[in-house]
Amino acid sequence: MNAAYLIKQEAYRLGFSYIGISKAAFLEDEAPRLDDWLQRHYNGQMSYMANHFDKRLDPRLLVEGAKSVVSLLYNYYTPHTQTDPSAPKISRYAYGVDYHFVVKNKLKELLHFIQTTIGEVGGRCFVDSAPVMERAWAKKSGIGWIGKNSLLITPKSGSFFFLAELIIDLDLPPDSPIKDYCGTCTRCIDACPTNAILPNKTVDGSRCISYFTIELKEAIPNNMAGMFDNWMFGCDTCQTVCPWNRFATPHNEPQFNPHPNLLNMTAKEWTEITEDIFNTLFKNSAVKRTKFAGLKRNIAFLNPNKSSF
């Protein structure tokens, strides 16, 4: 109990908003759901989602001797949005420095703290970069429930969080899951521009705007024209309409603040964006994942008659 308390207190000191613990074991309930999701090809061209099936379900295959999964949430919410209502939109999570770097460094500090304060503990840090079912572990640890949009929702702060995990060989007392508070609400399902949110808390990833604007490397299918609600990188629609996000509070992470010019870019400036401006705006940003050509493709898809390649 003392070790768990020390770990949680240090995590809060490092800036994490929520932390929960679960036993490292096989995710029995998730196995058939994952298999069905893949069989229906909801992963689209994200072939990596079909890799390491066993490791996704059992953290002991990722970390030898794993005893505990420590799940953590790091806030990225900001009330600030783009000033030009006609400009192509970018998801809030990509405003600042790539979260992989920011959160991973925090996790490494936490693991170092555990090893120097508690004793010889083996483990690994994970931030959306390995076959770990992050939302399932966060749910098991009691820091939230999985909403109908398949995102983790916390009852006090909503869903604008990055998820992270420490899988360690230290045996810690597990926390208990909490109730699902979505109720009969269907706002996220009703609002999804591409009808990607299906019943039973399932998202058809191959229809999600984030998939098309980030993951898909080839041309966006013509049958999706006019359905993107002006999103050029990612999509926040299902989070914006979620009633639980009325409790979201602004983050305190300076590295997540956008470049001073980012939110003031006009629709015309986005259409005429050059590679130099792209590199300036998105230095160390998650937007680099789609590359300059990918962002231009997305903008052109939104405004096929105005883009200037």
155: CB partners within 8 A, 6+ apart:
144, 178, 181, 244, 247
102-157 residue pLDDT tens = 999 999 999 999 999 999 999 999 999 899 999 999 999 999 999 999 999 999 99
Residue 303 has pLDDT above 90, yes or no: no
**Per-residue DSSP letter, 154:** B
The strand pair at 68-75 and 18-23 is best described as antiparallel
178-190 residue pLDDT tens = 999 999 999 999 9
What gap in Å lies between CA 122 and CA 118, rounded to an integer?
Answer: 11
Q: What integer pLDDT is reported at residue 129 of this predicted model?
A: 81
The structure tokens listed for 60 are 């002991």
162: CB partners within 8 A, 6+ apart:
73, 74, 76, 93, 99, 103, 127, 128
C-alpha to C-alpha distances, 196 to 169, 184, 206, nearest whole angstrom: 38, 18, 8
Residue 309 has pLDDT above 60, yes or no: no
What does the mean pLDDT of the chain come to? 96
The structure tokens listed for 26 are 């096989």
Whether the CB-CB separation of 246 and 254 falls below 8 Å is answered with no
Q: Which amino acids are annotated catalytic?
A: 128
Q: What integer pLDDT is reported at residue 306 of this predicted model?
A: 59
Q: Rounded mean pLDDT of 295-305?
A: 92
Residue 207: phi and psi, rounded to 5, are: -115, 0
Residue 222: other Cβ atoms inside 10 A? 8
243-278 residue pLDDT tens = 999 999 999 999 999 999 999 999 999 999 999 999
Whether the CB-CB separation of 167 and 47 falls below 8 Å is answered with no
Whether the CB-CB separation of 257 and 284 falls below 8 Å is answered with no
Q: Rounded mean pLDDT of 167-178?
A: 97
Radius of gyration of the chain (CA): 20
Percentage with pLDDT > 70 across the chain: 98
Q: Rounded mean pLDDT of 206-216?
A: 97
Residue 212 has pLDDT above 80, yes or no: yes
Residue type, position 58, single letter: D
103: CB partners within 8 A, 6+ apart:
74, 127, 162, 164
Residue 308 has pLDDT above 90, yes or no: no
The structure tokens listed for 104 are 């991973």
The structure tokens listed for 135 are 């939302």
- Domain boundaries along the sequence of the chain: 1-257
What gap in Å lies between CA 67 and CA 298, rounded to an integer?
Answer: 44
Whether the CB-CB separation of 258 and 70 falls below 8 Å is answered with no
21-66 residue pLDDT tens = 999 999 999 999 999 999 999 999 999 999 999 999 999 999 999 9
